[in-house]
Amino acid sequence: MKYNELQVNANKSKIRVGRGIAAGRGKTAGRGTKGQKARTGKKLHAMFQGGQRPLAQAIPKNRGFKSIKAPAQVVYADNLNAMKGLVDNFSLFEAGMIATPFHKVKIIMRGELTAKIDVKVQAASKSVQEAIKKAGGTFEKVATPLPKSTKEAEAEDK
């Protein structure tokens, strides 16, 4: 028998409890013996811990906002002096300045920028944009590059 040939019901029928000893769930009907949870009409809320203060109440709430977006990878302008020609996510990745070429990159001013470079990244501070123009280069804002799927890579190889 193969895994895809198994006959499985998506909806299991509900177990009927309290229908006598022969049914297998008689007498206490799966509630155990005595105690607060065994009684009828008594529902305990999810956080109930037997009368002691629940852990979820004891721990303070996380307030504020936490973004799920990955923060931009920062590159400082003085590090770009070693670069030549076109500077994009891939050239920065090869130079070891960013962790991955497929995340947002922002260039921030620090020190002086003297190299004439053409920058194509996702963001740069205004002071960096002015420094690039002053050095004789250009800045262009581009979209974050997406990683190629394995199917696309195989198609290019052929």
Query: Residue 39 has what pLDDT?
Result: 87
Quote the CA–CA distance of 79 and 73 in Å, as a whole number.
Answer: 14
| Topology adopted by domain 73-141 | Ribosomal Protein L15; Chain: K; domain 2 (3.100.10)
Band of the pLDDT at 104, cuts 50, 70, 90?
A: very high
Band of the pLDDT at 72, cuts 50, 70, 90?
A: very high
Residue 59 in tokens: 């721990």
Residue 55 in tokens: 């852990």
**Considering only 38-52, 83-97, 112-126, which range has the smallest mean pLDDT?**
38-52
Greatest mean pLDDT among 21-30, 126-135, 144-153 lies in 126-135
From residue 6, alpha-carbon distances to 12, 13, 14, 116 in Å are: 16, 19, 22, 67
The domain limits of the chain are 73-141
- For residue 157, is pLDDT > 80? no
112: left (phi over 0), alpha (psi -120 to 50) or beta: beta
Residue in this structure with the two tokens 């998506």, named with its chain if needed: 10
Band of the pLDDT at 11, cuts 50, 70, 90?
A: confident
Q: What is the pTM of this model?
A: 0.57
- For residue 155, is pLDDT > 80? no
**Considering only 9-23, 73-87, 125-139, which range has the smallest mean pLDDT?**
9-23
Band of the pLDDT at 46, cuts 50, 70, 90?
A: confident
Q: In sequence order, which ranges of 26-149 are alpha helices (DSSP H)?
A: 55-58, 89-94, 126-134
Q: How many residues does the chain have?
A: 158
Quote the CA–CA distance of 142 and 123 in Å, as a whole number.
Answer: 8
Residue 92 in tokens: 């920065």
- For residue 154, is pLDDT > 80? no
From residue 128, alpha-carbon distances to 5, 105, 112, 138, 145 in Å are: 63, 13, 9, 11, 22
Quote the CA–CA distance of 26 and 20 in Å, as a whole number.
Answer: 4
